[in-house]
Amino acid sequence: EAGVTQFPSHSVIEKGQTVTLRCDPISGHDNLYWYRRVMGKEIKFLLHFVKESKQDESGMPNNRFLAERTGGTYSTLKVQPAELEDSGVYFCASSQGLAGSPGRVEQFFGPGTRLTVL
Amino acid sequence: GQNIDQPTEMTATEGAIVQINCTYQTSGFNGLFWYQQHAGEAPTFLSYNVLDGLEEKGRFSSFLSRSKGYSYLLLKELQMKDSASYLCAVRFPSGGSYIPTFGRGTSLIVHP
């Protein structure tokens, strides 16, 4: 079974440019999450999709970030325009299980996209 | 916010035992995960604790005390390949679901 995949693995852009990151979750996983890790800091939650709906986007830093999950399959995260502080590793994760379930809901992570904004 | 604290770095010898601690604020707690992350790779699931006590899985065990807001990951018979970052993540309610809050990770270095 294929795991969570992310594209690209690395992206180097200049301040003010636009970048779109893609995540393909494990097939059949309704829950999809985006996280970001800035160097030296912890992994931070950005948002959570259940199928195509945004369940929780409380972690999105500002309106320069736009996430979509059309059709409830893959997801994209667009940063426009990119700023220096957006540099970091962007992880995607997916899980089975119902949103709001109090039980164990294991998240499977992708390898991340390393974004560098110059 | 919910602070998750774990040591930044630990070193240990091959074949030894190491314990990595994690403390968190208890309000709203709904489960604790441990992940292993090798450099440049995805975090991979190691364990999940929601009730007090010890969960053992091969060379790895994880302990939880909900009243103390404390967990540890115990690694036995250390191998060189265990050198990695170990992430403690605690689930708290958020937006109608349960989202893990991560610690900064503990970088474990295993030497011969």
The answer to which of A57-61, B15-19, B108-112 has the lowest mean pLDDT is A57-61
Tell me whether B4 touches chain A (CB under 8 Å). yes
* pLDDT given for residue A94 in this prediction: 93
Pairing assessment for the beta strands B18-24 and B70-75 based on DSSP bridges: antiparallel
Contact indicator for B32, B71 with CB cutoff of 8 Å:
yes
pLDDT (tens digit, 9 = 90+) per residue, B37-79?
998 899 999 999 999 999 998 999 999 999 999 999 999 999 9
Whether B102 and A44 lie within 8 Å, measured CB to CB:
yes
* pLDDT given for residue A103 in this prediction: 55
Query: Of the candidates B31, B44, B95, which has its C-beta nearest A48's C-beta?
Result: B95
Find how far residue B11's CA is from the centre of its chain: 16
Report how far residue A41's alpha carbon sits from residue A37's, in angstroms, rounded to the nearest whole number: 6
pLDDT (tens digit, 9 = 90+) per residue, A49-98?
999 999 889 899 999 999 999 888 999 999 999 999 999 999 999 988 65
Tell me whether B3 touches chain A (CB under 8 Å). no
Whether A109 and B35 lie within 8 Å, measured CB to CB:
yes
The confidence band for B111, taking pLDDT boundaries of 50, 70 and 90, is very high
Tell me whether B109 touches chain A (CB under 8 Å). no
Minimal Cα–Cα distance from B43 to chain A, Å?
Answer: 6
- B48-85 residues labelled b (16+ CB within 10 A) or e (exposed): bbbeeeebeeeebbbbbebeebebbbebeebeeebbbb
Instruction: Kindly state the average pLDDT of the residues A17-34.
Output: 95
**Mean pLDDT across chain B:** 92
* pLDDT given for residue B83 in this prediction: 98
* pLDDT given for residue A99 in this prediction: 47
| Residue B72 β-bridge partners | B21, B63
Contact indicator for B73, B55 with CB cutoff of 8 Å:
no
Report how far residue B83's alpha carbon sits from residue A25's, in angstroms, rounded to the nearest whole number: 27
